[in-house]
A and B are shown apart, each in its own frame.
Chain A
Amino acid sequence: MALLQISEPGMSTAPHQHRLAVGIDLGTTNSLVATVRSGLSVVLDDEAGHSLLPSVVRYHADGRTDVGYGALSAQNDDPHNTIVSVKRFMGRGIADIDDIASLPYRFVDAPGMVQLKTAAGVKSPVEVSAEILKVLRQRAEAAMGGELVGAVITVPAYFDDAQRQATKDAAQMAGLNVLRLLNEPTAAAIAYGLDNASEGIYAVYDLGGGTFDISILKLSRGVFEVLSTNGDSALGGDDFDQRVFCWMLEQGRFAPLSAGDTRLLLTKARDAKEALTEHTEVRVTAVLSTGEMMDATLTQADFNAMTASLVSKTLAPTRKALRDAGLAVGEVKGVVMVGGSTRMPCVRQAVADLFKQTPLTNLDPDKVVALGAAMQADVLAGNRAGDDWLLLDVIPLSLGLETMGGLTEKVIPRNTTIPTARAQDFTTFKDGQTAMSVHVMQGERELAADCRSLARFELRGIPPMVAGAARIRVTFQVDADGLLSVSAREQSTGVEASVQVKPSYGLGDEDITRMLKDAFTHAKDDMFARALNEQIVDAQGLIAATRAALAEDGALLDAEEAAAVEASIAALETLIGGTDHQAIKRGVEALNAATTEFAQRRMDQNVRRALAGQKLETFG
């Protein structure tokens, strides 16, 4: 492992030190990790030279796990314990998974998010995803020779809050510092947009293994502005495999299948689908464990016919995204194709017909998301100066509250640029009502029952008043990752309640801590040494950044204020010398608190400069 660079006290580390950061495409079928080296974004390979890591995890009874190709090859022999396409279960309940009957897993119903029974115990999709991320983290640290300061992890634009939060939790379990959750189409646009230096309106059509996203973006002078997004978080290449699988069942007239044979036929179905991108027909053969056999020919025309309804399912959201952006087809300058499923000729043809132009396919559709994510990670880690770009993304689904009669009241409409905050006032409907239940929803439908429930919390202690007299202000804040927090406050008394919209699927901080411990039982890492190390690195970074800020803008503080900040720095430096990571953490919090006012003044100054039309220097 390379040594961390530690600066001399009083010297800024920021401009010269290259901070190791990666972009991770955590895909349904395959995952990748990429980084920027000498200004170029590159995908990192494993020792065997593979860039793709199959998103497959196999659990053994002794707690060992196989991830990637090793697990993939075992999926037919050990289907219950070999989890494929886990991304489809992230932040999802049993009722959300419509093809559950044809999947070989032993599902366990759990509040909010489904779980899977394996030889190594019950696993949450978050834990399974964390196994994949851990392998990618190790691959990156080995290739780059050091610890990562952070990662940008991509999610489908159409992921809702529960799915995003689950992804972030998985990264945390894998020991990754998430610099940003980035929407996959936006990542692809970065990879394309900067290579081609294009200005104008672009559509990004992203059909992956399990999700479909369409985003409409405006590129102008270094700003990527997402105008609208739409999609289907349960539609992807897996569904095309399913169609071929059903065709195989018709051809073979098999007796009810074992889990292993189901897996086998699904693998054959995928192979046939992939073969049809290059050939006009493919021979499909299979021998089941029962001795039953099939041997048939699938033509591209038959394949197109059996999947036509899937392709057209992508076109309705595409038209809707255009309408939401207030654009006609003719105004779109280019269409970027992302995701392995866009290799299918029928998909390319449908997109070309809709947009009346040949879509862009010059970057590898499997890698483009990871490449763009790495470029954004490089920006966020502060490695670029001056020539970087800005992303303005939107929330994909409206956020609201359940009101009387099971209806929803939208508080933040879909396609609102983030970060954003919106407040809405509500009142009591009964005389003397002292508590109010706040039910946070996500979705476009009128009825609360048709939307996704994100969280419920109660505001208690409202003083008894006549119905309609209380003024309860509910505030929604969505951060730059698209994650929501909600607070409620009774205006006249100041009674307050708030919730980080997190435990909707029953994964509280305690669960995560437990899972972290479980995970580390089987790893060589010493959790406490790692926690201490991370705290020290955090604290050093904070001290360096604060010193740099003081050197630059110390004039914004008077002598007394500056002395208070210096005192907090000195206190934290003393703590770094010790081994109590909790104390260091508290020291970091104290220094953060001591610099809040300073940060406000620095930002005011930035804004004044921006308004004065001055070209701003980089911060940091």
Chain B
Amino acid sequence: MDFTRTHFELFGLPTAYALDRDKLDTAYRELQNAVHPDRFAAQPEAEQRVAMQWATQVNEAYQTLKHPVNRGVYLLSLQGIDALHAGNTHMAPAFLMQQMEWREAIDEARTGKRVDALDALSDDLRAAHRRIEAQLADLLDRAHDYTAATEAVRQLRFMDKLIAEVGDVYEELEG
């Protein structure tokens, strides 16, 4: 199996953060149609094994490109940068302040059992997530500023954690 192809090459997509999601989904479905083990269930074991390896690889590549944080981390890794390295801790103070405010808002919604407040907060977080994604596309695809891009990727990861926390609170309030 040829694993030297990048995930972008595997799906026939340009190597860029800005992504045509429809094209990715279509290429993913076509590739899985060609390699999925279900296509080889009646075939010899050797073909089944190769199919499993390929389908695994295609799934991995799809998950990486589909997910905004993973796609950023992957693009930076192609530049030799480990964005999630433990030594990379710099974060703009303004962003950290905003984080704290959001955390407090989550706590308030929890203690006040306010599902409506949680809904509003969810919308805010998703909007902020989209803004950072747009910045990241600009930093990676146009400005090639990998230092700033690394920070943006880590900010996105923070956002994902916050969104997951909101999910936990929903569960708590609904349960």
Please list the residues of chain A having a beta carbon within 8 angstroms of any beta carbon in chain B.
14, 19, 149-150, 179-180, 220-221, 223, 316, 319-320, 323, 379-382, 390-392, 416-421, 477, 479-480, 541-542, 545-546, 549, 591-593, 595-596, 598-600, 602-604, 606-607, 609-611, 613, 616, 619-620
Alpha-carbon gap, A180 to B41, bound state (A): 8
Alpha-carbon gap, A224 to B129, bound state (A): 29
4 tightest A-B contacts by CB?
A382-B42, A610-B34, A380-B41, A599-B46
Q: Tell me whether B20 is interfacial, beta carbon within 8 Å.
A: no
The interface residues of chain B lying within 8 Å CB-to-CB of A150 are: 41
B63 contacts A19, C-beta separation under 8 Å: no
- 8 Å CB interface, B21-75 against A: 27, 29-47, 49-52, 54-56, 59-60, 62-63
If over half of B's interface residues share one DSSP class (helix, strand or loop), that class is named, otherwise mixed; here it is helix
B50 contacts A479, C-beta separation under 8 Å: no
Alpha-carbon gap, A19 to B63, bound state (A): 35
Determine which of B27, B41, B45 lies in contact with A381 in the assembled complex, contact meaning CB atoms within 8 Å. B41
B45 contacts A545, C-beta separation under 8 Å: no
A604 contacts B1, C-beta separation under 8 Å: yes
B12 contacts A611, C-beta separation under 8 Å: yes
B56 contacts A609, C-beta separation under 8 Å: no
The interface residues of chain B lying within 8 Å CB-to-CB of A417 are: 59, 62-63
Alpha-carbon gap, A261 to B120, bound state (A): 56
A sample of 8 cross-chain residue pairs with beta-carbon separation below 8 angstroms, ordered by A number, consists of A223-B29, A323-B170, A390-B36, A549-B47, A603-B35, A603-B54, A611-B27, A611-B30
The interface residues of chain A lying within 8 Å CB-to-CB of B10 are: 611
Alpha-carbon gap, A258 to B152, bound state (A): 68
The interface residues of chain A lying within 8 Å CB-to-CB of B43 are: 545, 619-620
Query: Which of chain A's residues has its CB closest to B62's CB?
Result: A417
A609 contacts B42, C-beta separation under 8 Å: no
Q: Tell me whether B175 is interfacial, beta carbon within 8 Å.
A: yes
Q: Tell me whether B2 is interfacial, beta carbon within 8 Å.
A: yes
**Which of A19, A379, A603, A604 has most B Cβ within 10 Å?**
A603
**Which of A180, A418, A600, A604 has most B Cβ within 10 Å?**
A600
**Contacts A149-B42, A180-B41, A607-B35 given; 4 further ones with Cβ under 8 A?**
A223-B33, A610-B31, A619-B39, A620-B40
Determine which of B34, B51, B62 lies in contact with A609 in the assembled complex, contact meaning CB atoms within 8 Å. B34
Alpha-carbon gap, A480 to B53, bound state (A): 11
Alpha-carbon gap, A609 to B51, bound state (A): 15
B32 contacts A390, C-beta separation under 8 Å: yes
Alpha-carbon gap, A480 to B35, bound state (A): 12
The interface residues of chain B lying within 8 Å CB-to-CB of A606 are: 34-35
B56 contacts A420, C-beta separation under 8 Å: yes
The interface residues of chain B lying within 8 Å CB-to-CB of A180 are: 38, 41
Determine which of A319, A604, A620 lies in contact with B170 in the assembled complex, contact meaning CB atoms within 8 Å. A319
Q: What's the least CB distance linking B171 to chain A, in Å?
A: 6
The interface residues of chain A lying within 8 Å CB-to-CB of B116 are: none
Query: Which of chain A's residues has its CB closest to B45's CB?
Result: A592
Alpha-carbon gap, A599 to B44, bound state (A): 9
Query: Which of chain B's residues has its CB closest to A601's CB?
Result: B50
Q: What's the least CB distance linking A562 to chain B, in Å?
A: 15
The interface residues of chain B lying within 8 Å CB-to-CB of A19 are: 42
Alpha-carbon gap, A545 to B12, bound state (A): 31
A419 contacts B56, C-beta separation under 8 Å: yes
Determine which of B33, B37, B42 lies in contact with A480 in the assembled complex, contact meaning CB atoms within 8 Å. B37
Determine which of A477, A549, A603 lies in contact with B1 in the assembled complex, contact meaning CB atoms within 8 Å. A603
The interface residues of chain B lying within 8 Å CB-to-CB of A549 are: 47
B12 contacts A598, C-beta separation under 8 Å: no
The interface residues of chain B lying within 8 Å CB-to-CB of A477 are: 52, 56
B46 contacts A592, C-beta separation under 8 Å: yes
Query: Which of chain B's residues has its CB closest to A477's CB?
Result: B56
A316 contacts B34, C-beta separation under 8 Å: no
B38 contacts A480, C-beta separation under 8 Å: yes
A480 contacts B52, C-beta separation under 8 Å: yes
A479 and B31 in contact (CB under 8 A), knowing A316-B174, A416-B63, A420-B56?
A: no
B50 contacts A600, C-beta separation under 8 Å: yes
Determine which of A319, A416, A591 lies in contact with B174 in the assembled complex, contact meaning CB atoms within 8 Å. A319
Query: Which of chain A's residues has its CB closest to B57's CB?
Result: A421
Determine which of A149, A390, A603 lies in contact with B51 in the assembled complex, contact meaning CB atoms within 8 Å. A603
Query: Which of chain B's residues has its CB closest to A416's CB?
Result: B63
Alpha-carbon gap, A421 to B29, bound state (A): 19
Q: What's the least CB distance linking A469 to chain B, in Å?
A: 17
Alpha-carbon gap, A613 to B33, bound state (A): 12
The interface residues of chain A lying within 8 Å CB-to-CB of B39 are: 390, 619
The interface residues of chain B lying within 8 Å CB-to-CB of A592 are: 44-46
Alpha-carbon gap, A392 to B39, bound state (A): 12
Query: Which of chain A's residues has its CB closest to B37's CB?
Result: A480
Determine which of B47, B55, B56 lies in contact with A602 in the assembled complex, contact meaning CB atoms within 8 Å. B47
B31 contacts A607, C-beta separation under 8 Å: yes
Query: Which of chain B's residues has its CB closest to A609's CB?
Result: B34
B33 contacts A380, C-beta separation under 8 Å: no
